[in-house]
């Protein structure tokens, strides 16, 4: 059993060591995921701290049937962050928030600018009918019902476009990642 | 989502594009449905890929300490067998004793380790299922914060599905299978459910309304439903 599998099995068994190790292994990713939704450090810390504590309190938060533990944790933290974002009365426009998360240049732990822009570049490859609802969901934390109302499209149409847009985007991102690995 | 599977809601769940009630319904369904769990896992992989390619920041040291503290300060949540046994002790011990259950059931009921004592003293409420003619006699005990539920069916002759009724839909929670002539289903949850039903096939045979009004719960539990 590889280390990822052992960690996932330990997490599914609700072992304390596995919760601690999973957090340590993915701490930067989880904190960044929350920060990129909420745009400030205090809220991001609350989001990650509360999400992990809630998982620890839950009897069966994760099963290995769910697949990748890292993905599960990222989505848990993002969902918590999105709930906080919705509760906030002050809403930032997506451009303002994206600008606010532009990292400081002297931070040695940050990816280079090309890497930072990959998701947004990949989004541009989607047709607008898929890209716009996906951006509203991912960057603005809107529900599918809010998106349907804003775009004046039927709910079923919006659901379908988000689904296909996400699948296509992931496929594009994987292809880009694969091509970059091949060049190295 | 209906009584069936979640379908295209998997991507919306992973993106965070569902409202709180829809999200809770999905999470409840995932407790009992492995195909949908795999579907959501796949969608989570796509969203995590997006998140992993976005700007990265180091996690602050105080957050790391906070998480470490949470993992060591909080005890794990309810364990399935202990919680069922505790709930039976709380709400049904006298009746069950008279019913002459199997010896194993008695041993479970009267186990008295420290954990049991703590669980048995937990505040809880009780709601009785209103049954259709010939339907089962059943009750649900539940934590005032909705963190756990135990459904107990007396004189059970076969397994019944326990479902959450909400928004004109049914969300499958699990099946209560008979042990002797009592069925019990423990449901660790993180939310409050207003209406539970027992379903035989597609037919609702009993339904309970849970009371979430703020009243001081007692050790024996408040009554509602």
A45-59 pLDDT, tens per residue? 999 999 999 898 887
Q: How far apart are CA A172 and CA B175, in angstroms?
A: 42
Is A167–B46 a contact, with Cβ atoms under 8 angstroms apart?
yes
- Backbone phi, psi, residue B164, to 5°: -95, 120
Q: Which positions in chain A touch B30 (Cβ < 8 Å)?
A: 66
Q: Which residue has the tokens 């600008």?
A: A99
Q: Is the ipTM of this complex over 0.85?
A: no
Q: How far apart are CA A138 and CA A140, in angstroms?
A: 6
- pLDDT of A71 reads 96
Q: Which positions in chain B touch A70 (Cβ < 8 Å)?
A: 48
In the structure encoding, which two tokens stand for residue B113, read together? 């380790």
- pLDDT of B219 reads 47
Share of chain B above pLDDT 90, in %: 21
Q: Compute the count of residue pairs across chains A and B with CB atoms less than 8 Å apart.
A: 194
The partner residue sitting opposite A174, judged by closest CB among B40, B49, B63, is B49
Give the other-Cβ count within 10 Å of A8's Cβ: 23
Q: Is the confidence at residue A93, as pLDDT, over 80? A: no
Burial zone of A42 (CB within 10 Å; 0-12 exposed, 13-18 middle, 19+ buried): exposed
SS3 A90: coil
Rounded alpha-carbon distances, angstroms, from residue A152 to A8, A22, A138, A144, A148: 42, 42, 19, 12, 6
- Structural domains in chain A, sorted by start: 4-97 (1.10.1740.10), 102-183 (1.10.10.10)
Query: Quick check: B79 and B156 in contact, CB under 8 A?
Result: no
Q: What are the pLDDT digits (tens) for B176-223?
A: 877 667 787 777 766 789 999 998 888 888 999 998 887 655 444 455
Residue B100: DSSP 8-state: T
Q: What stretch of H or E contains B43?
A: helix B34-52
Beta bridge partners of A86: none
Q: Is the confidence at residue A119, as pLDDT, over 60? A: yes
Indicate the length of chain B as a whole number: 225
SS3 A132: helix
In the structure encoding, which two tokens stand for residue B65, read together? 């300490």
Q: Is the confidence at residue A44, as pLDDT, over 80? A: yes
The partner residue sitting opposite A27, judged by closest CB among B34, B64, B80, is B64
Q: Give the least confident one: A149-163, B132-146, B190-204.
A: B132-146
Q: Is the confidence at residue A74, as pLDDT, over 60? A: yes
Cα radius of gyration rounded to whole Å, chain A: 18
- pLDDT of A86 reads 85
Is A137–B9 a contact, with Cβ atoms under 8 angstroms apart?
no
- pLDDT of B96 reads 46
Average pLDDT over all residues of chain B: 75
Of A97, A20, A28, which is closest to residue A52 (Cα–Cα)? A20
Name which of B56, B65, B145, B190 to mutate to probe chain A: the one with the most chain A Cβ atoms within 10 A of its Cβ: B56
Burial zone of A122 (CB within 10 Å; 0-12 exposed, 13-18 middle, 19+ buried): buried
Is A28–B59 a contact, with Cβ atoms under 8 angstroms apart?
yes
Q: Which positions in chain B touch A16 (Cβ < 8 Å)?
A: 71-72
Give the other-Cβ count within 10 Å of A92's Cβ: 15
Backbone CA torsion sign across B108, B109, B111, B114 = positive
- pLDDT of A175 reads 87
Q: How far apart are CA B189 and CA B167, in angstroms?
A: 19
The partner residue sitting opposite B70, judged by closest CB among A56, A71, A143, is A56
Q: Is the confidence at residue B88, as pLDDT, over 50? A: yes
Indicate the length of chain A as a whole number: 184
Q: How far apart are CA A19 and CA B77, in angstroms?
A: 14
Q: Which positions in chain B touch A166 (Cβ < 8 Å)?
A: 11, 14-15, 43, 46-47
pLDDT band at A101 (very low <50, low <70, confident <90, very high): low
- Backbone phi, psi, residue B99, to 5°: -75, -10
- pLDDT of B111 reads 34
Cα radius of gyration rounded to whole Å, chain B: 20
Q: Which residue has the tokens 């602050």?
A: B60
Higher pLDDT, B116 or B1: B1
Q: Which residue has the tokens 């993905």?
A: A71
The partner residue sitting opposite B8, judged by closest CB among A66, A138, A159, is A159
């Amino acid at each position: 059993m590889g280390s990822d599998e052992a960690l996932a099995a330990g997490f599914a068994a609700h072992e304390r060591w596995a919760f601690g190790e999973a957090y340590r292994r993915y701490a930067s990713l989880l904190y960044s995921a929350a920060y990129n939704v909420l745009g400030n450090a205090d809220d991001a810390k609350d989001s990650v701290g509360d999400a992990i504590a809630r998982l620890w309190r839950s009897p069966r938060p994760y099963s290995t049937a769910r697949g990748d533990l890292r993905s599960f944790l990222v989505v848990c933290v993002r969902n918590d962050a999105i709930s906080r974002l919705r509760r906030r009365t002050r809403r930032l426009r997506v451009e303002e928030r994206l600008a606010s998360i532009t990292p400081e240049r002297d931070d040695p732990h940050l990816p280079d600018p090309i890497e930072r822009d990959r998701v947004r570049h990949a989004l541009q490859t989607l047709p607008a009918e898929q890209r716009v609802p996906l951006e509203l969901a991912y960057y603005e934390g809107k529900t599918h019902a809010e998106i349907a109302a804003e775009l004046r499209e039927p709910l079923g149409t919006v659901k379908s476009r988000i689904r296909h847009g996400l699948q296509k985007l992931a496929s594009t991102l994987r292809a880009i990642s694969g091509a970059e690995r091949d060049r190295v | 989502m209906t009584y069936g599977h979640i379908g295209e809601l998997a991507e919306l769940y992973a993106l965070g594009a569902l409202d709180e009630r829809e999200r809770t319904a999905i999470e409840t369904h995932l407790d009992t449905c492995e195909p949908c769990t795999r579907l959501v896992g796949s969608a989570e992989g796509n969203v995590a890929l997006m998140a992993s390619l976005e700007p990265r920041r180091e996690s602050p040291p105080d957050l790391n300490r906070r998480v470490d503290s949470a993992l060591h300060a909080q005890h794990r949540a309810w364990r399935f067998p202990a919680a069922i046994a505790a709930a039976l002790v709380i709400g049904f011990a006298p009746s069950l004793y008279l019913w002459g259950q199997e010896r194993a059931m008695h041993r479970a009921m009267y186990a008295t380790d420290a954990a049991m004592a703590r669980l048995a003293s937990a505040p809880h409420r009780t709601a009785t299922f209103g049954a259709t003619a010939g339907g089962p006699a059943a009750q649900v005990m539940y934590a005032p914060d909705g963190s756990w539920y135990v459904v107990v069916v007396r004189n059970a002759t076969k397994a019944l599905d326990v479902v959450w009724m909400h928004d004109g839909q049914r969300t499958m929670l699990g099946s209560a299978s008979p042990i002797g002539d009592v069925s019990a289903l423990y449901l660790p949850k993180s939310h409050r459910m207003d209406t539970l039903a027992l379903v035989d096939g597609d037919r609702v045979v009993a339904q309970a309304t849970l009371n979430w009004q703020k009243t001081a719960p007692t050790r024996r539990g408040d009554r509602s439903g």
